[in-house]
């Protein structure tokens, strides 16, 4: 395979935008196949949480990018019991699908990471993790930027309590910040990001469902 010249990855965006030359399609296909395999394997013999795309909540830290003209998306699911934001962040970044993305980052851009570092990120003990850094925090939210500041990744928990149930809504969203094309002067996402949007949407569902499934199997909520 040709020499990797540049890899842009966003925390939680669930896709890696490559500038590889003619091998680009091969790499993306390999990633896609492995993610679909993980999704298929975890789907057998169990009921997975339902994940759906939804509008960004008005209180979301990510909404500043939606209002600023960036591409944004938001996915949500709901699981029984009360789950802390710390538990969501820790689970999200240590699932099997995300560990694959972490492995790619370590191999491609020398940005290694560990499960212990993911736990420290969740606890607020560190502000950098693999290829990302913390841009903003709230009691129930985390917003991260990739190291070249083209993408953002966001997680949020919202407790749901009424007379009949106690549950937690889990949110995951991404933003892609447009750049100005020097030839046209037009603000745009760029070819690599546009090409991988379909994969990103599929992978986002896999990531949130995988984290929710892990949290739903916990003996007790954190």
Q: Which has the higher per-residue pLDDT, 74 or 45?
A: 74
Task: Report the Cα–Cα distance between both ends of the chain, in Å, rounded.
Answer: 44
Q: What is the mean pLDDT of the chain?
A: 80
Compute the average pLDDT of residues 122-127.
Answer: 97
DSSP 187: E
pLDDT tier at 190, thresholds 50, 70, 90: low
pLDDT tier at 116, thresholds 50, 70, 90: very high
> Residue 6 above 70 pLDDT?
no
**Residue extents of the structural domains in the chain:** 6-216
Residue 15's closest CA among 192, 170, 147? 192
d(C-alpha 48, C-alpha 23), whole Å: 34
Q: Which has the higher per-residue pLDDT, 155 or 40?
A: 155
| Tens of pLDDT, residues 9-59 | 333 344 343 322 333 333 333 344 344 434 434 444 445 679 999 999 999
Residue 171's closest CA among 28, 72, 97? 72
**SS3 label, residue 21:** coil
Residues in the chain: 222
């Amino acid at each position: 395979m040709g020499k990797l010249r540049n890899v842009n990855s966003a925390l939680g965006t669930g896709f890696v935008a490559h500038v590889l030359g003619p091998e680009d399609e091969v790499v993306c296909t390999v990633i896609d196949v492995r993610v679909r395999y993980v999704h298929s394997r975890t789907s057998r013999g169990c009921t997975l949480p339902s994940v759906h795309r939804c509008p960004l909540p008005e209180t979301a830290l990510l909404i500043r990018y939606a209002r600023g003209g960036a591409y944004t998306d938001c996915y949500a699911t709901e699981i029984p019991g009360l789950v802390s934001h710390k538990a969501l962040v820790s689970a999200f970044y240590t699932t099997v699908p995300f560990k694959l993305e972490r492995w790619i980052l370590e191999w491609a851009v020398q940005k290694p990471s560990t499960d212990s570092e993911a736990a420290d990120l969740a606890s607020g003990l560190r502000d950098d993790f693999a290829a990302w850094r913390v841009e903003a925090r709230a009691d129930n939210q985390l917003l991260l930027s990739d190291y070249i500041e083209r993408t953002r990744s966001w997680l949020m928990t919202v407790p749901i309590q009424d007379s009949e149930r106690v549950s937690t809504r889990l949110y995951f969203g991404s933003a892609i910040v447009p750049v100005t094309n020097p030839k046209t002067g037009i603000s745009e996402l760029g070819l690599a990001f546009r090409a991988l949007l379909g994969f990103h949407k599929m992978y986002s569902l896999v990531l949130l469902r995988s984290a929710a499934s892990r949290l739903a199997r916990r003996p007790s909520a954190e």
